[in-house]
Structures are given as C-alpha cells and as structure tokens.
Amino acid sequence: MTSSTTTENMTGLQSAAADWASDQRTFKNVPWGKAMMWIFLLSDTFIFACFLIGYMALRIGATEPWPASSEIFALSMGGQPVPLLLIAIMTFILITSSGTMVMAVNFGYRKDRKKTALLLLITALLGASFVGMQAFEWTKLIVEEGVRPWSNPFGAAQFGSTFFMITGFHGVHVSVGVLFLLIVGRKVWRGEYDNQTRGFFTSRKGNYEIVETMGLYWHFVDLVWVFIFAFFYLW
C-alpha cells in the first residue's frame, strides 16, 4: 500500500481490478466529454425506464379497456386502414439517421471537414423530419380521434396521458439532438475544430471528439425509440 503495486504477480481478476483502478484515468483514451456522455446516458436510461415501467404498471392496472394500438395508430390509405404505416416510416427515418451519424463520426475521425458537416446536417434533417411526423401523429390523435391527456373516447384515460408524456419526452430529446447536431455541424463547417477556436462560454478549444460524443447521444435516442415503439405500437 505504501508504494505503487507491480502488476506482474497478479491473477486475472486482480489485474482486471488494477486496470480499472489504475492511476489518472479509469478509461484510458476516453476523453472527458465522452465519459460524461456515457454516464449521462446511463442516468437518462433510468428516466426512460421509470417512464416505461410506470406506463406498463398503469396499462396492466387500467380499470377501463385500453385502446387497440393496431386501430388507433392506423393511417387510412385508399379507404383502407393500414396499421403501423406512419410509425414504420418514422422508425425507418430515425434508424437511417443513426446510419448517417455513424458516417459522420467516421469522417470526423479522419478530420474530413466537409463530409462530416454534410452528414451531420443530413442527420439533423432526418431527425427534424421525425419530429415533424410526430407532430403530424399528435395532431391526428388530438384533432381527429379526440385523444387528450386527461381522456379519450376509446377507454382508459391513461392511454393518452402516457402516450403524450413519453413520446413527448422522447420528442424533446430528438429536438434537442437536432439543435446540437446543427450547432456541432456549424462548428465543423467553419473549421473551428481544425483551427482550435475557443468555445463561446467555456473558452475551451473544441475538437472532433465532440462529433463522437454527439453520436453517442443520437444513437441512445434511437435506441430508446425502439423500446417506445415496441411498448406502445406493438403491445
């Protein structure tokens, strides 16, 4: 304990613990921002988990019938209701945006300024179109179907409450993501990560690692959507 321990005579478990506890940094070569984002996302996971578990508890314990998801979320195409049509498109768009985000991160590593900025912009546009479609879906539910947070004509009031709350909370996440994608994209485009311009508030120099940190957040928002999709639209 009085001096630094040598790692030669350790068993596998001990050396694993020693690696975790090693000096200066627990996660080698992980920048501060990326470590922060991982921990934040773990915390955010607890938020969405609480929301979804609360939703499940309310749905299981509902005293009135729960609206059938295959009908209430259906779009009418040529007089025929097509279940899950809109939501399939929304999901496809969001998953595609994850793909463009990965490419942006890839070009960010190569410090390819223009391609990174372009891909960030595409990701932001895909995200914005997702939010736009969500607004369309909300409008349809509110105006045409008469679903409100406090009541709806189909049965349990908790359907509207949980749906608007959870998809709304997710929509806010996507919108914030779009905003930051645009900010990061603008910085990349202007070359602020190449010529080490100092940030506005923090006066720290930025670098391309932020693109990857941004990507972590974006993939997380996508992953959460998969769960919301499963629990709201497929249950």
Binding-site ranges for another protein (CB under 8 A): 1-4, 18, 20-28, 30, 32, 35-36, 39-40, 42-44, 46-47, 49-51, 54, 57-58, 61-64, 149-150, 156-158, 160-162, 165, 169, 201-205
**Closest Cα to residue 211, out of 235, 189, 234?**
189
Residue closer to another protein (CB basis): 186 or 205: 205
**Rounded distance between C-alpha atoms, residue 173 and residue 47, angstroms:** 12
Q: CB–CB of 93/213 below 8 Å? A: no
Least distance between another protein and beta carbon 80 (Å): 33
Residue closer to another protein (CB basis): 61 or 153: 61
In the chain, what is the greatest distance between 2 CA atoms, to the nearest angstrom?
Answer: 79
Q: CB–CB of 90/134 below 8 Å? A: yes
Least distance between another protein and beta carbon 25 (Å): 5
Residue closer to another protein (CB basis): 22 or 70: 22
Least distance between another protein and beta carbon 55 (Å): 10
Residue closer to another protein (CB basis): 46 or 77: 46
Beta-bridge mates of residue 75: 82
Residue closer to another protein (CB basis): 111 or 198: 198
- The enclosing H or E element of 127 equals helix 113-139
**Rounded distance between C-alpha atoms, residue 235 and residue 229, angstroms:** 9
Least distance between another protein and beta carbon 122 (Å): 29
Least distance between another protein and beta carbon 189 (Å): 23
Q: Which two tokens stand for residue 188?
A: 């990349």
